Amino acid sequence: MTHRQNWFEGWRLFALLGLTLTALCIWIASMRQFDVDGLRMVIRFTARTSLLFFCLAFSAAALARLWPNGWTRWQRRNRRYLGVTFAASHGLHAIAIGCYAVMDPAGYAAATSAASYIFGGLGYAFIIAMTATSFDRTAQAIGPRAWRTLHLTGGYYLLFQFTVSFGKRIPDMPLYALFLIPLAIVFALRMISMAQKGARRPVQAS
Ligand code: HEM
């Protein structure tokens, strides 16, 4: 298929995006000679790139159903690869967090809490489980029902986690409210699409 042969489709798309994100993280950290401030910039950068790819993956099915066109069909077709790119972006978030903890233990302890370990840890557990089941063979192994339950629960949990992580910074930095807009849009799109799907379903005779 021609789709699979270009760099904007499938695993090639993932490779392109993953390498670009990695290069950008190295470049950002190098601007500060890989010091603690540079690592914190990478943590913030990857949180934001994760938000972008999460929103693209989690809105894909709803958008393709509500507005079928070339772009939404591309997004729906590549939903898996956009989701795995989100996971890679959050892998870079984790690497930068690990480096921060080693280089500045006191600053790191002040920036984190028991709650960030519990909620963040659960977020990473979902990301790992969802990534592990993003391959044909592993998705088939758990079956469509378990796959849907895992990806739906994990998706909504991550939506909640992004909302809390950006939201808690609003009192100090009001512009952080802007990050909540794409999250609210994704949630609304999923609700509208679900309502339309429900309305179209034929009523079963009892
Ligand atoms: C145990 C797991 C995690 C730890 C220890 C952790 C740690 C951190 C730290 C220390 C910062 C602050 C960086 C700074 O301002 O210098 C940060 C920022 C952030 N993290 Fe994480 N994180 C974790 C998991 C997650 C997860 C799962 C998500 C989302 C799904 C997430 C989303 C964010 C966001 C949105 C920010 C704010 C970025 C910004 O200021 O623009 N984190 N994280």
What pLDDT score does 198 carry? 85
Q: Can you tell me the mean pLDDT for 91-108?
A: 97
Query: What is the per-residue pLDDT across 12-70, written as a single tens digit (0 to 9) for each?
Result: 999 999 999 999 999 999 999 999 999 999 999 999 999 999 999 999 999 999 999 99
Q: What percent of the chain has pLDDT over 90?
A: 92
Q: How far is the CA of 180 from the centre of ligand 1 (A)?
A: 15
pLDDT of residue 199: 86
pTM of the model: 0.93
Closest CA to ligand 1's atom 2: 120
Residue nearest to atom 22 of ligand 1 (CA): 120
Mean pLDDT along residues 140-150: 98
DSSP 68: -
CA–centroid distance, 187 to ligand 1, in Å, is 21
State the Cα–Cα distance between residues 115 and 37, nearest whole angstrom.
Answer: 23
- Those residues with Cβ within 8 angstroms of residue 123's Cβ, 6 or more apart along the chain or in another chain: 157, 158, 161
Which residues form ligand 1's pocket by a CB distance below 6 Å? Answer: 40, 43-44, 47-48, 93, 97, 111-112, 116-117, 120-121, 123-124, 158, 161-162, 165-166, 169
The CA-atom distances, in angstroms, between 177 and each of 42, 100, 150, 188 are 20, 26, 29, 17
Q: Please identify, by atom number, the ligand 1 atom nearest to the C-alpha of residue 166.
A: 35
Cα of 66 vs centre of ligand 1, distance in Å, is: 32
Q: Look at residue 3 in the predicted model and tell me its pLDDT.
A: 60
Rounded distance from Cα 94 to ligand 1 centre (Å): 9
pLDDT classification of 201: cutoffs 50, 70, 90: confident
Q: How far apart are CA 45 and CA 55, in angstroms?
A: 16
What is the residue-averaged pLDDT of the chain?
95
Please report the pLDDT score of residue 206 as a whole number: 45
Sorted by sequence, the CB contacts under 8 Å of residue 68 that are 6+ apart come out as: none
Q: Tell me the backbone φ, ψ of residue 104, rounded to 5 degrees.
A: -145, 75
For residue 27, the CA-to-ligand 1 centroid distance in Å is: 20
Q: Provide the residue count of the chain.
A: 206
Helix (H), strand (E) at residue 169? none
- Return the DSSP state at 58: H
pLDDT digits (tens, 9 = 90+) for 177-196: 999 999 999 999 999 999 99
DSSP helix/strand/coil, 202: coil
